[in-house]
Structure 1
Amino acid sequence: MATHRLPAGLRAPFEGRTWRELGYVLTGFPLSVLYFCLAVSLVSTGAGLLVTFLGIPVLAGALAMCRGFGAVERARARGMLGLDVAAPEPARGKTGGALSWMGATLKSGASWRHLLYALLHFPWAVFTFSVTVALWSWGWSLFTYPLWQWVLPMYAGQAGLQIYGDEAHSVYLNSPFEIAVTSLVGLVFVLVGPWVLRGMVAVDRLMVAGLLGPSRLATRVTELESDRGVVVDTAAADLRRIERDLHDGAQARLVALAMDLGLAKEKLAGDPLAAAVMVDEAHGEVKLALQELRDLARGIHPAVLTDRGLDAALSALAARSTVPVSVEVDLPKRPAAAIEGIAYFTVSELLQNVSKHSRARRAWVDVWRSQERLMIQVRDDGVGGADPAAGSGLAGLTERLDAVDGVLAVDSPAGGPTTVTAEIPWRR
């Protein structure tokens, strides 16, 4: 993180952010005048013509024009304020014709929000422009007064800035003390101006984000579509993993077992002892195949989880871990079966990470309910440094939890310890 010798209050007038915000306010005023005049003119014309068919295309065109204004404002906010607001859902008709487009535009809530922005931003832009220009011009002109004060007696025929005058008296700022005080007053305006500007621009940020972006419903639909894609991809990956484990593990072992039993059958009459040895080896292969199938079935959905719940399933999971694990489950009742499965595989993935990467001596698993959320916390005393952004298994786990409106928080400083907390909806 960069360090600064000057405090923020003294740096603010010279920071690039301040000058970009100043440019945003200054350019916003003429644009808002244009938006307001065109929006009011066309919308009022369209509304007046609604008694005829001409009003509908005029009104739809006015709303489409306001959408264009919104695109300009989002670009300005992105370039000058660093505010990245996504474009709203486009207005598309079902049939693709002009009438269908006009109907979709008139029904679109985003179109009317853009019109509302054009109307509301005009008075706000007038206010912010006036305040900003006043603060900036007075602040810098008074602050630099000692540098240009000499112009007044030399070219204007007066001793300095006149702050009062009538037929009998005139007061000028011309003494060294008055010049110094004037400069100090200007310095106050210069230092206060950027913070006033940031406060006003914060309102602009809210207006752009709230009126020119996609609606909450559209955003939620997009999130759900993304989550559905994650779920589908995860399910497909799990199916591929199961198929690979069956093909490379139990299936290959059973094929070899069948061949061994065939050979033993052929040797049974001529060499019973060799056949007995081969049958004994086949018996061992059967045991290994059964163990692999049990492990595979446990990886799909352990029977102990269905029969006895999370407490017993996590205890069994901890018993198989290469790192000693303490399990504490405090649940008043069992959550939904799907949530239990997600919780089980979340802990399983986290304990695998502990075993593979943490070099920990101990780990702890705590599960409890907080209102309508199932809370999971896995801690270890390892070396730390776990980072979901590094493309590890934590990134995939974060996506899986996000698909069910869950949250994964990782606290893993270098040197440890690591604490991973997951929140899953209870849904019972």
Structure 2
Amino acid sequence: MSDTSALPRPLLEPPAPQPNPGASGPWTGLRTFATAPFRARAWKEFAYLIIVFVLGCLATAYLFVMVGGSLYLSVLVIGVPVLAAVILGGRVWGRIYRVLGTVLLNAELPEPPPFTFRPGPIGWLRSAFTDRTSWRALLFLLLEAALGMVVGYLVLMVVALTALVTVSPVLWAWKDPHNVDARGVSHHSMVQFGDYYIETWPRVLAFAAIGVLGCFLLPWLFRGVCFLHRVLAAWLLTPTRRDRALTELRESRRAAVDDATATLRRLERDLHDGTQARLVGIAMALGRAEERIATGGDAEELIAQARTSSKEALTELRELVRGIHPPALDLGLGPALETLAARCAIPVELRVLLPVRPSPAIEAIAYFSVAELLTNVVKHAAANRIWVAVLPTGSDALAVSVRDNGQGGALQPADASGEAVVAGGLSGLAQRARGVDGSLFVDSPVGGPTVVTLVLPLAGPQ
């Protein structure tokens, strides 16, 4: 078994690309440096810096005119809703910067939670003034005004100076500049450093070489400044940890409700189509037996038929109850998993080490998850051996790991549609785990082995 303390990659994450030995070498860094000015990334980052410089100017005007004006008008009644609308305008600015960062910087900037407001004018105002996303966007605008406008201006000046130095030989030969020193001597020079004049072709070409070198250094300057923009955007324009926790809570609640609804529908269908029909048959058989006895006939066969049907109905009811709570779990998770391992069509090596018994909800989730994973291995993995381990991870959590020696590739596309072979089942297990503040991890390279690790709290969600 693999060490459960080193968890595999998260669910549905594609396998990491294998390094190409031929792509590295002593000339790789030099080739990267030499081709940087000609790559699309450098030009996209340069375009981003130009756009955010303009946006920084507009954002500064927005902050001073709109926010300042609405604060001034807030002494009047009309100024309060205007200020609320200006605050919510931060969301629009945030969306603009997220789109720019995603398109030009290839940054991952997920959308924050949408704005939700309480009913009524007062409720809308309270929601606007307490919208954390809007306030964080306004703070971003304030910092972006300094980063995009001030730093951006300096970067653009460096770009202009570098371009001027690079083409200086053309300007020097075409415009025929002359500078006169303190002694009255005229020099054919555009640039001077003290008493040193750039006035001969060797000096001019050497000076231009500095500009050419600067052209190869500019992409790295763009990259550093754009990195600061990405960090600032990821810090203030994306969902916070609290927002992500609330989103996961809503998703887990929805998954739990959907799972409960599906279970109730399955029970209703099974009871209606199976057990209810048998009970109706029993009632009809007993009714005919009662009529036959009243007329002095023999009802032994009908009573025997009703007895057999009642036993079958009880068996079906036991199966339904077992689907809700397996009887094996009454003895604990270990004996329940031993029952699953014994019934599996592939040999299973089981290892369970639980110093403390988990809560009943955690035991049920672990049991049904292992049952589904074993079924997936039998159906899809082409394996001949399975290892199941249930081990503690600290004092308040356990890790349920299922490993097989099959063909792997559980997360690879099965066809042109791009749908993974077992992605649906794994997604369901992940939602079930998140419902109790747990997580699911999958490591399934092509060729195997496949390791699925389910981390669950011992006591359920807090």
TM-score (norm 2): 0.76
Q: Greater shift after overlay, 42-51 or 255-264?
A: 255-264
Alpha-carbon distance between aligned partners in 2 of 1:323 and 1:284, rounded to the nearest angstrom? 35
- Whether 1:229 aligns to 2:249 is no
In the alignment, is the contact (CA less than 8 A) between 1:63 and 1:106 conserved in 2? yes
The one-letter amino acid of 1:154's match is W
Correspondent of 1:345 among 368, 392, 397 = 368
Question: Any gaps of 5 or more consecutive residues in structure 1?
Answer: none
In the alignment, is the contact (CA less than 8 A) between 1:162 and 1:173 conserved in 2? no
Report the CA distance shift for 1:327/1:169 in structure 2 as closer, same or farther (over 3 A).
closer
- Whether 1:38 aligns to 2:62 is yes
Partner of 2:384: 361
Secondary structure at 1:296's aligned position in 2? helix
Secondary structure at 1:149's aligned position in 2? helix
Report the CA distance shift for 1:169/1:118 in structure 2 as closer, same or farther (over 3 A).
closer
Correspondent of 2:175 among 155, 178, 190 = 155
In the alignment, is the contact (CA less than 8 A) between 1:373 and 1:425 conserved in 2? yes
What's the CA shift for 1:237?
Answer: 1.5
Partner of 1:171: 198
Report the CA distance shift for 1:262/1:360 in structure 2 as closer, same or farther (over 3 A).
farther
Partner of 1:416: 448
Report the CA distance shift for 1:50/1:324 in structure 2 as closer, same or farther (over 3 A).
same
Correspondent of 2:266 among 238, 241, 257 = 241
Number of corresponding residues = 415
Partner of 1:202: 227
Partner of 1:90: 115
Q: Greater shift after overlay, 287-296 or 321-330?
A: 287-296
Partner of 1:63: 87
CA displacement, residues 94-140 of structure 1 (integer Å, 9 cap, x when unaligned): 31x3x553443223333322322222211111243134324434445
Report the CA distance shift for 1:259/1:318 in structure 2 as closer, same or farther (over 3 A).
farther
In the alignment, is the contact (CA less than 8 A) between 1:25 and 1:128 conserved in 2? no
In the alignment, is the contact (CA less than 8 A) between 2:332 and 2:357 conserved in 1? yes
Correspondent of 1:322 among 345, 368, 373 = 345
- Whether 1:190 aligns to 2:222 is no
The one-letter amino acid of 1:31's match is L
The one-letter amino acid of 1:386's match is A
Partner of 1:14: 38
The one-letter amino acid of 1:347's match is V
Alpha-carbon distance between aligned partners in 2 of 1:240 and 1:310, rounded to the nearest angstrom? 27
Alpha-carbon distance between aligned partners in 2 of 1:417 and 1:124, rounded to the nearest angstrom? 49
The one-letter amino acid of 1:15's match is R
CA displacement, residues 231-282 of structure 1 (integer Å, 9 cap, x when unaligned): 111111122233344455555667778889999998xx8999xx69x96x99
Alpha-carbon distance between aligned partners in 1 of 2:431 and 2:188, rounded to the nearest angstrom? 68
Partner of 2:457: 425
In the alignment, is the contact (CA less than 8 A) between 1:375 and 1:422 conserved in 2? yes
CA displacement, residues 16-73 of structure 1 (integer Å, 9 cap, x when unaligned): 2332222121111122122112312343344445555455345334324444333332
Report the CA distance shift for 1:37/1:179 in structure 2 as closer, same or farther (over 3 A).
same
Secondary structure at 2:60's aligned position in 1? helix
Secondary structure at 2:198's aligned position in 1? strand
Correspondent of 1:124 among 140, 147, 150 = 147
Report the CA distance shift for 1:333/1:200 in structure 2 as closer, same or farther (over 3 A).
same
Partner of 2:236: 211
The one-letter amino acid of 1:179's match is L
Alpha-carbon distance between aligned partners in 1 of 2:307 and 2:428, rounded to the nearest angstrom? 39
Moved over 6 A (4+): 1-6, 158-161, 253-266, 269-272, 281-288
CA displacement, residues 287-343 of structure 1 (integer Å, 9 cap, x when unaligned): 7665554443322111221x2211111111111111111111111101111111111
Correspondent of 1:28 among 29, 34, 52 = 52
- Whether 1:397 aligns to 2:429 is yes
What's the CA shift for 1:346?
Answer: 0.8
Q: Root-mean-square deviation (CA), in Å?
A: 3.9
CA displacement, residues 151-177 of structure 1 (integer Å, 9 cap, x when unaligned): 4223334798744256x65234622x8
Secondary structure at 1:416's aligned position in 2? coil
What's the CA shift for 1:403?
Answer: 2.7
Report the CA distance shift for 1:169/1:233 in structure 2 as closer, same or farther (over 3 A).
closer
Kindly, what percent of the aligned residue pairs are identical? 37
Report the CA distance shift for 1:370/1:192 in structure 2 as closer, same or farther (over 3 A).
farther
Alpha-carbon distance between aligned partners in 1 of 2:92 and 2:403, rounded to the nearest angstrom? 52
What's the CA shift for 1:363?
Answer: 0.6
Secondary structure at 1:203's aligned position in 2? helix
- Whether 1:300 aligns to 2:324 is yes
In the alignment, is the contact (CA less than 8 A) between 2:169 and 2:204 conserved in 1? no
CA displacement, residues 201-253 of structure 1 (integer Å, 9 cap, x when unaligned): 22222333333345544443333222211111111112223334445555566
Report the CA distance shift for 1:422/1:12 in structure 2 as closer, same or farther (over 3 A).
farther
Partner of 2:4: none
Report the CA distance shift for 1:188/1:250 in structure 2 as closer, same or farther (over 3 A).
farther
Partner of 2:183: none
Compare relative contact order (CA 8 Å, sep 6+) and give the higher one, 1 or 2.
Answer: 2
- Greater share of helix: 1
Alpha-carbon distance between aligned partners in 2 of 1:59 and 1:426, rounded to the nearest angstrom? 49
Alpha-carbon distance between aligned partners in 2 of 1:285 and 1:270, rounded to the nearest angstrom? 19
What's the CA shift for 1:362?
Answer: 1.3
The one-letter amino acid of 2:192's match is Y
The one-letter amino acid of 2:169's match is Q
Alpha-carbon distance between aligned partners in 1 of 2:85 and 2:39, rounded to the nearest angstrom? 41
